[in-house]
């Protein structure tokens, strides 16, 4: 088991190394002049359809999917419990059905409550 | 880089007015064309190495256009990019809205002084290497609006133009011919030009 | 930890190098390089394929000048984009700006580590394969958000916000759609799932495939869910300020994601490498190609949805359907384990159709924003 994860860990390193070289190739090419570089002040300003930007960009503003994120966290974590059950369902047999259905039922109450409260609207 | 913080619309208007005035007074003469920028000895020594060939082939086969269209000529460009004339054959159907990804501005249409600072800024923010095609009579000289107080008499007042395509509007065939010319021009580049 | 480097401990005995001396490292090398190069190769082919196909769908020719049949079109794009100027905005958060493409790209490739190309031929046969895929796939959203945030650009932040909202919303149906398959297969390992598919699971689980496919379309931001690329509204998406190779990495990420999700769809629902006559890997590639062409077909057919519709669709349509699917499947498997495949498939299909019909009653055609 562990050696499988060591394979994954090494693969992560390989892929990250690959992605890093990919991003760094132009820097190397710049040294020999193949990648052009003509810095100017205007070029390094943010592009906003040809207009100058007004005011700070990193300000606090309303994240509209706040409720979605909350819902996701609750549902996502609970839903992960479904997977062990799903794997073992054949062995557990019908007795496990009632348990898991009441589990989903409890989730559903919360879901319907969120729906009624309008948390699922994008506004 | 300074962040502008003017908040009232009056401030913004005034700033814009100043920008336009500045640009107007500073661009009374056409910008020299790009090939003119080559230093003399580079011009005599242009050698097309294999690297150049590969680079230029790549660049000419994937000219991505910036969507910066200002007036009626645009419709001929739209026609060019749809089925009958199909600009996609040259790999040009990728229209990017951000100048960081684009290689080419096709200046389709009349340019007013009000719009000029924006277009200039878009051009300046494009990543090198970049090209400009002046499309239509308006793009070349201001066309039928040449005498107007509000129209830029030709894009070459503010941008260095690579290819001029006359017509009012130029037919898609003419535009295709212009693009062919530009592809020939790209082929002759040397990466030493930057 | 001597156990970690036990020769061939993790490697299926089907592979010839399983009992070689440095089997572990050879395995890593072969599959590591194999996966990356196969992925990049197929990205180049599939970009060309997509552009040609979209051309055909719109009665155009598509790219045909670069190389024979335009096959070298994506190569030309790569050359051009590689030698484009690299712009880092002066106000940007430099460090995050640089690592965002890497963060976005890495997890996409990682997902392929658990996909078998033949019996036992995969990088690591994790017994939690599907869970691994789910966990890894959500990291891409982080990279996207980092890119949007670090660019110091108002549009890119808005776009990144939207993207994350969309990815977050469609993750639920995506996770739930695979539970049905897990129930039937009784395993989370993708290798086992493929092996149990004597009948492709799309026959047994049409509703599951439906949800999986739509949710993965949204995860890869394809039409009709390509809101972040909505250039008429948000300039160019979260990668406005990126140019050159960093932009290309994002572009690559999007295509790799499309390919990886096609691979998952082919593996989980279409029987993976199984098939008569041809070698397994050819079957897998064929199925991936078919799913990908289907995605392109949808792209050139459907218009783009509005953001509130996209959100409502995920939370109000797909989520209940996914749970319904789990109910029905688990009842079948637990109570009547001997159910013939056709009955199970038909019931599933009937429920899907009934659900869609019921749902469409709630909408008024031509009405304004739908409130359900
Ligand atoms: S050249 Fe003619 S068609 Fe083109 S923008 Fe000017 S007036 Fe319009």
Q: Give CA angle at C34 (C28, C39), nearest 5°.
A: 130
pLDDT value of position C4 = 43
Range of the domain at A98: 63-117
Residues C19-38 have a mean pLDDT of 82
Which of ligand 1's atoms lies nearest the C-alpha of B167? 1
For B144, B154, B174, the CA distances from B166, given in Å and listed in that order, are 13, 12, 8
Residue pairs between chains A and C whose CB atoms are closer than 8 Å: 218
CB-CB contact of C221 with C228 (8 Å): yes
For A118, C219, C226, C230, C310, the CA distances from C304, given in Å and listed in that order, are 24, 15, 7, 9, 9
In a domain, A72, yes or no: yes
Burial label, C183 (beta-carbon count in 10 A; 0-12, 13-18, 19+): buried
| Complex ipTM | 0.86
pLDDT value of position B39 = 53
Contacts of B124 in chain A (CB under 8 A): 40, 42-43
Using CB atoms, which residue from C6, C102, C109 is nearest to A3? C6
Local confidence band at C9 (pLDDT 50, 70, 90 cut-offs): low
Q: What is the pLDDT of residues A42-86, one digit of tens each?
A: 888 888 877 888 777 787 777 667 777 788 888 888 778 888 888
In a domain, A105, yes or no: yes
pLDDT value of position B48 = 55
**In chain C, what's the furthest Cα-to-Cα distance?**
69
Q: Exposure string (b/e) for A38-60, b if CB count within 10 Å is 16 or more?
A: eeeeebbbbbbebebbeeebeee
Of all protein residues, the one whose alpha carbon is nearest to atom 6 of ligand 1 is B138
Q: How many domains does chain A have?
A: 1
pLDDT value of position C291 = 92
Most confident of A2-6, C117-121, C196-200: C196-200
In a domain, A82, yes or no: yes
- Is the minimum distance from the CB of B141 to ligand 1 under 6 angstroms? no
In a domain, A56, yes or no: no
| Percent of chain A that is helix, strand, coil (3-state, to 5) | 65, 0, 30
Whether a cis peptide bond, with omega within 30° of 0, leads into B129 is yes
**Of residues C42 and B93, which shows the higher confidence score?**
C42
- The answer to whether residue C8 scores a pLDDT higher than 50 is no
Local confidence band at C213 (pLDDT 50, 70, 90 cut-offs): very high
Query: Quick check: C235 and B90 CB within 8 A?
Result: no
pLDDT value of position C198 = 83
Rounded percentage of chain C residues whose pLDDT exceeds 70? 91
Local confidence band at C212 (pLDDT 50, 70, 90 cut-offs): very high
Residues C54-67 have a mean pLDDT of 86
Query: Quick check: C249 and A23 CB within 8 A?
Result: yes
Rounded distance between C-alpha atoms, residue A103 and residue A97, angstroms: 10
pTM (predicted TM-score): 0.87
Task: Report, as ranges of residue numbers, the positions in chain B whose pLDDT lies below 50.
Answer: 36-37
Local confidence band at C123 (pLDDT 50, 70, 90 cut-offs): confident
Query: Per this entry, what is the length of chain A?
Result: 123
- The answer to whether residue C365 scores a pLDDT higher than 60 is no
Q: What is the mean pLDDT of chain C?
A: 83
**Interface check C101 vs A, CB under 8 A:** yes
Among residues B47, C318, C193, the alpha carbon closest in space to that of A120 is found at C318
Ligand 1 centre from B137 Cα, in Å?
Answer: 6
Rounded distance between C-alpha atoms, residue C106 and residue C140, angstroms: 8
Helix/strand/coil (H/E/C) assignment for every residue in chain C: CHHHHCCCCCCCCCCHHHHCCCHHHHHHHHHHHHHHHHHHHHHHHHHHHHHHHHHHHCCCCCCCCCCHHHCCHHHHHHHHHHCCCCCCCCCCCHHHHHHHHHHHHHHHHHHHHHCCCECCECCCCCCCHHHHHHHHHCHHHHHHHHHHHHCCCHHHHHHHHHHHHHHHHHHHHHHHHHHHHHHHHCCCCHHHHHHHCCCCHHHHCHHHHHHHHHHHHHHCCCCCCCHHHCHHHHCCCCCCCCCHHHHHHHHHHHHHHHHHHHHHHHHHHCCCCCCCCCCHHHHHHHHHHHHHHHHHHHHCCCCCCCHHHHHHHHHHHHHHHHHHHHHHHHHHHHHCCCCCHHHHHHHHHHHHHHHHHHHHCCCCCCCCCCCC
Q: What is the pLDDT of residues B68-124, one digit of tens each?
A: 888 888 899 888 888 888 888 888 888 888 888 888 988 888 888 988 888 888 898
Residues C251-260 have a mean pLDDT of 89
Whether a cis peptide bond, with omega within 30° of 0, leads into B76 is no
B52-193 sits in which CATH class? alpha beta
CA distance B84 to chain A (A): 30
Residues C184-189 have a mean pLDDT of 86
Ligand 1 centre from C67 Cα, in Å?
Answer: 36
Local confidence band at C2 (pLDDT 50, 70, 90 cut-offs): very low
pLDDT value of position B192 = 66
What does A53-99 look like in DSSP terms, one character per residue? PBS-SS-----TTHHHHHHHHHHHHHHHTHHHHHHHHHHHTTHHHHH
Q: In 3-state terms, what secondary structure has residue B187?
A: helix
Q: What is the pLDDT of residues C298-340, one digit of tens each?
A: 988 888 887 777 888 888 888 889 988 988 888 888 888 777 8
Query: Quick check: C85 and B83 CB within 8 A?
Result: no
Query: Quick check: C153 and A57 CB within 8 A?
Result: yes
In a domain, A91, yes or no: yes
**Interface check B12 vs A, CB under 8 A:** yes
Using CB atoms, which residue from B58, B83, B91 is nearest to C65? B91
Rounded distance between C-alpha atoms, residue C242 and residue C240, angstroms: 6
Structure tokens at A7: 């394979």
In a domain, A95, yes or no: yes
Contacts of A36 in chain B (CB under 8 A): 128-129, 191, 194
**Interface check C255 vs B, CB under 8 A:** no
Rounded distance between C-alpha atoms, residue A90 and residue C185, angstroms: 9
Annotated domain spans of chain C:
17-83, 86-360
Q: Which of B64, B67, B89, B192 best probes binding to C when mutated, by most C CB atoms within 10 angstroms?
A: B89
Which of ligand 1's atoms lies nearest the C-alpha of B138? 6
Ligand 1 centre from B166 Cα, in Å?
Answer: 10
Lowest mean pLDDT among B149-153, C55-59, C210-214, C271-275: C271-275
pLDDT value of position A17 = 92
Residues C138-148 have a mean pLDDT of 87
């Amino acid at each position: 088991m562990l050696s499988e994860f060591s394979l994954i860990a090494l693969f992560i390193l390989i892929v990250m190394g690959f992605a890093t070289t990919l991003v760094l190739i132009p820097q190397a090419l710049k040294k020999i002049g193949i990648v052009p570089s003509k810095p100017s002040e205007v070029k390094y300003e943010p592009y906003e359809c040809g207009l100058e930007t007004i005011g700070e960009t990193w300000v606090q503003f309303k994240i509209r999917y706040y409720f979605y994120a909350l819902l996701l966290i609750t549902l996502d974590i609970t839903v992960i419990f479904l997977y062990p059950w799903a794997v073992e369902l054949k062995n557990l047999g019908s007795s496990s059905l009632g348990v898991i259905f009441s589990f989903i039922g409890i989730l559903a109450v919360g879901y319907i409550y969120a729906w009624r409260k309008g948390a699922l609207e994008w506004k | 880089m300074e962040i502008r913080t003017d908040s009232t619309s009056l401030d913004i208007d005034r700033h814009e007015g100043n920008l336009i005035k500045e640009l107007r007074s500073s661009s009374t003469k056409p910008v020299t064309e790009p090939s003119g920028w080559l230093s003399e000895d580079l011009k005599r020594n242009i050698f097309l190495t294999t690297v150049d060939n590969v680079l230029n082939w790549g660049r000419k086969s994937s000219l991505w256009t910036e969507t910066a269209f200002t007036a009626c000529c645009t419709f001929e460009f739209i026609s060019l990019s749809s089925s009958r004339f199909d600009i996609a054959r040259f790999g040009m159907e990728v229209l990017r809205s951000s100048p960081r990804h684009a290689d080419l501005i096709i200046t389709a249409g009349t340019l007013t002084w009000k719009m000029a600072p924006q277009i200039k800024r878009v051009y300046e923010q494009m990543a090198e290497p970049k090209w400009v095609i002046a499309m239509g009579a308006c793009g070349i000289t201001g066309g039928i609006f040449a005498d107007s107080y509000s129209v830029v008499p030709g894009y070459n007042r503010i941008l260095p133009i690579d290819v001029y395509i006359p017509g009012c509007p130029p037919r898609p065939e003419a535009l295709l011919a212009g693009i062919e010319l530009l592809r020939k021009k790209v082929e002759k580049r040397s990466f030493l030009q930057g | 930890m001597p156990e970690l480097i036990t020769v061939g401990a993790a490697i299926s005995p089907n592979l010839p190098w399983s009992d070689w001396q440095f089997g572990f490292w050879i395995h890593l090398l072969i599959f590591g390089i194999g996966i990356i190069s196969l992925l990049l190769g197929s990205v180049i082919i599939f970009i060309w394929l997509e552009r040609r196909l979209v051309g055909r769908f719109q009665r155009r020719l598509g790219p045909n000048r670069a190389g024979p049949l335009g096959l070298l079109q994506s190569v030309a794009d790569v050359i051009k984009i590689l030698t484009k100027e690299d712009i880092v905005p002066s106000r940007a958060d430099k460090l995050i700006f640089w690592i965002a493409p890497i963060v976005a790209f890495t997890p996409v490739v990682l997902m392929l580590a658990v996909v078998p190309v033949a019996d036992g031929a995969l990088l690591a046969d994790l017994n939690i394969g599907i869970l691994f895929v789910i966990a890894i796939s959500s990291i891409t959203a982080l990279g996207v958000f980092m890119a949007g945030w670090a660019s110091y650009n108002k549009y890119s932040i808005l776009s990144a916000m939207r993207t994350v909202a969309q990815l977050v919303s469609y993750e639920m149906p995506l996770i739930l759609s695979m539970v049905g398959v897990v129930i039937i297969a009784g395993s989370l390992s993708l290798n086992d799932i493929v092996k149990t598919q004597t009948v492709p699971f799309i026959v047994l689980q049409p509703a599951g495939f439906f949800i999986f496919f739509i949710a993965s379309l949204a995860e890869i931001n394809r039409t009709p869910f390509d809101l972040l690329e909505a250039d008429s509204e948000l300039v160019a998406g979260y990668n406005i300020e990126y140019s050159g190779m960093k932009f290309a990495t994002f572009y690559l990420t999007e295509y790799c994601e499309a390919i990886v999700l096609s691979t998952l769809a082919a593996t989980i629902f279409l029987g993976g490498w199984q098939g008569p006559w041809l070698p397994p890997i050819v079957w897998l590639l064929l199925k991936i190609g078919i799913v990908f062409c289907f995605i392109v077909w949808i792209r050139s057919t459907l218009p783009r949805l509005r953001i509130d519709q996209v959100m409502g669709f995920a939370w109000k349509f797909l989520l209940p359907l996914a749970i319904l699917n789990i109910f029905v499947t688990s009842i079948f498997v637990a109570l009547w384990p001997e159910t013939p495949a056709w009955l199970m498939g038909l019931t599933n299909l009937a429920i899907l159709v009934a659900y869609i019909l019921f749902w469409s009653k709630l909408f008024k055609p031509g009405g304004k924003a739908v409130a359900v």
